Amino acid sequence: MRRGFMVSIGDILKGRHVGETVELRGWIYRTRTVGGKAFVVVRDSTGIIQATISKDAVPPEAFAAAEKALIESAVEVKGTVTKDKRAPGGYELRATDLRVVHFAEKFPIQEDPSEEFLLDVRHLWVRSQRMTAIFRIRHTAFAAVHEYFRGQGFWEVHPPMITSAGSEGGTTLFELEYFGRKAHLTQSWQLYAEALVLAMERIYYIGPSFRAEKSRTTRHLTEYWHAEMEQAWAGMDEVIKHAEGVISHACQRVAEERPEDVVALGRTPEFLKAVKPPFERLTYDEALKQLKAKGVDLEWGKDLRTLEERALTEGTTKPIVVTHYPRVTQAFYKARDPKHPDLVLAFDVIGGDGVGEIVGGSERETDLETIQKGLKEQGEDPKAYDWYLDSRRYGSVQHAGFGMGMERLIQWICKLDHIRDAVPFPRTPARFAP
RNA sequence: GCCGUCGUAGCUCAGUCUGGUAGAGCCCCCGGCUGUUAACCGGGUGGUCUCCGGUUCGAAUCCGGACGACGGCGCCA
């Protein structure tokens, strides 16, 4: 088959090549044959289109190949782009030639697959329209986060993935053997960020975090991508504004650049465009009052759980910000509220649709002795954190920061039932393959 | 960590209560059909009933155990 003018399916669907003779290549999505005609629906990374192959319009071997090729066979098709109401999508390619690059074996995924089976064949399911739409949005969201922080004067710096200690207590760390000694996979850049922030002042990074928590929920992964920022000479209010800013910026970019994908997943670009600062903000105490009014009682000092988060975000179209949590249950590095010693200057950004906490952040404790005391209260040995504590010995200044779960953000933007679809190959307690 | 559900053909499931030769639809293969839209019509191939043990003349089915997965809660981003 002689090479023609190669085009993408997406371009054809935009009406760019009507009447032209072009060539496209991709994978067979469906085939139907009716007597002397074969309808071969082809997908590439930009869309799907029907190629109509008439027995009398192509070489005999091409028609035979079209009839024989199974779903997901790789093909090259040459033909004339035609606008036709009978074709799904409104455009089709009237083929003059077809070559099968690879005859696929019987493709295991058919109609009505179970969730469990799709996870077993995830390496094949990633070819689906739904998955590729999410991947494109993920691409855009990641770019937007980089764009936001760089635009705000933050340096991208990289912490290690292999660490000696954790930041949230040692029980949720994956352990690994490091030349005969114990090491761990990072669960947060927290300790390193607080060392680096005294050098670079405004820093951020996006990278993987690992949590060895056997969480069986629709919003937990054991390996997830963490967008984290840390800022010197800044308090809680300033970093809350950055949290609102970065979430909003990601929503704007996705709405502008991926409107078709957004619609395909059940959101609208308008919904995302409306996600602009400021978000509704309330303190933990105010949240308890709101919950009580809704008939949900929560004892003071308990963290907000799924039930409470859902009640608080019910009917919201933007995430909400909850601030000033009780000090009990909070990590040792979070700063006390000078006005209320029982509270810490910590905040969460909570998304609706059951996604829950998208961002968690705080102002950091600057006083050496207070941190050492906090570590002991959590059952940690301050000696193991000695290098970290140097950040409170040599020029300790006010600083604050937050971590954002990229998959949580994508889950919320794409309105996904389960966080595992926000990443191509999810890692959960039950699965690390494929 | 706790609670619940499930495991039968490549896929989706019925059959299990009440033990007696392993079933359907889809996929695939063969045949038909010149505009199909998850095409349709006719025929055919396809099984370690998750595994181990027990009861029984006989177990997919009853009993005991193991393993695996999914869903919910907790923990978190």
Q: State residue A331's pLDDT score.
A: 85
Find all residues with CB under 8 Å of A43, minimum gap 6, and list them.
A9, A26, A27, A28, A29, A127, A129
Nearest nucleotide to A419, CA against C1' atoms: B77
CB-CB neighbours of A230 under 10 Å: 30
When pLDDT is cut at 50, 70 and 90, the band that residue A166 belongs to is low
Question: Which of A17-26, A74-83, A167-176 bottoms out in mean pLDDT, i.e. has the lowest?
Answer: A167-176
Nearest nucleotide to A67, CA against C1' atoms: B29
Q: State residue A110's pLDDT score.
A: 87
Contact A204, A149 (CB under 8 A): yes
Q: State residue A171's pLDDT score.
A: 60
Q: Which residue is nearest to nucleotide B12 (CA to C1')?
A: A112
Residue A201 has pLDDT above 60, yes or no: yes
Q: State residue A380's pLDDT score.
A: 81
- Whole-number distance in Å between A272 CA and B13 C1': 40
Nearest nucleotide to A361, CA against C1' atoms: B77
- Whole-number distance in Å between A429 CA and B19 C1': 39
Q: Pairing between strand A223-232 and A399-405? A: antiparallel
Nearest nucleotide to A309, CA against C1' atoms: B76
Measured distance CA(A326)–CA(A337) in Å, rounded: 10
CB-CB neighbours of A289 under 10 Å: 11
- Whole-number distance in Å between A33 CA and B41 C1': 13
Q: Which residue is nearest to nucleotide B37 (CA to C1')?
A: A88
When pLDDT is cut at 50, 70 and 90, the band that residue A330 belongs to is confident
Q: What is the pLDDT of residues A110-163, one digit of tens each?
A: 888 899 999 999 999 999 999 999 999 999 999 999 999 999 999 999 999 998
Average the pLDDT over A225-236 and give the result.
Answer: 97
First-to-last CA distance in chain A?
Answer: 37
Average the pLDDT over A368-375 and give the result.
Answer: 90
Nearest nucleotide to A32, CA against C1' atoms: B36
Q: What is the pLDDT of residues A18-60, one digit of tens each?
A: 999 999 999 999 999 998 899 999 999 999 999 999 999 999 9
Residue A4 has pLDDT above 70, yes or no: no
pLDDT above 70 covers a percentage of chain A that reads: 97
- Whole-number distance in Å between A106 CA and B60 C1': 28
- Whole-number distance in Å between A373 CA and B47 C1': 65
- Whole-number distance in Å between A253 CA and B44 C1': 54
Q: Pairing between strand A47-54 and A399-405? A: unpaired
Taking phi over 0 as left and psi of -120 to 50 as alpha, with beta for the rest, A19 belongs to left
Nearest nucleotide to A56, CA against C1' atoms: B34
Q: State residue A267's pLDDT score.
A: 93
Q: What is the ipTM of this complex?
A: 0.88
When pLDDT is cut at 50, 70 and 90, the band that residue A356 belongs to is very high
Nearest to A371 by CA among A157, A191, A136, A178: A191
Nearest nucleotide to A118, CA against C1' atoms: B11
Cα distances from A254 to residues A106, A136, A418, A424, in angstroms, run 36, 9, 20, 18
- Whole-number distance in Å between A112 CA and B43 C1': 26
Helix or strand holding residue A146 (H, E)? helix A129-151
Residue A423 has pLDDT above 90, yes or no: yes
pLDDT above 90 covers a percentage of chain A that reads: 79
Kindly state the tokens that stand for A265.
Answer: 């997943």
What's the mean per-residue pLDDT of chain A?
Answer: 92
Nearest to A349 by CA among A251, A282, A295: A282
When pLDDT is cut at 50, 70 and 90, the band that residue A3 belongs to is low
DSSP string over A367-400: -HHHHHHHHHHTT--GGGGHHHHGGGTSS---EE
CB-CB neighbours of A179 under 10 Å: 5
Residue A232 has pLDDT above 90, yes or no: yes
Q: State residue A264's pLDDT score.
A: 92
Kindly state the tokens that stand for A62.
Answer: 């091409």
Measured distance CA(A175)–CA(A166) in Å, rounded: 11
Residue A2 has pLDDT above 80, yes or no: no
DSSP conformational letter for A431: B
- Whole-number distance in Å between A418 CA and B71 C1': 12
Residue A209 pairs in a beta bridge with: A224
Q: State residue A281's pLDDT score.
A: 95
Covered bases, chain B (protein CB within 7 Å): 1-3, 10-13, 25-29, 32-40, 68-77
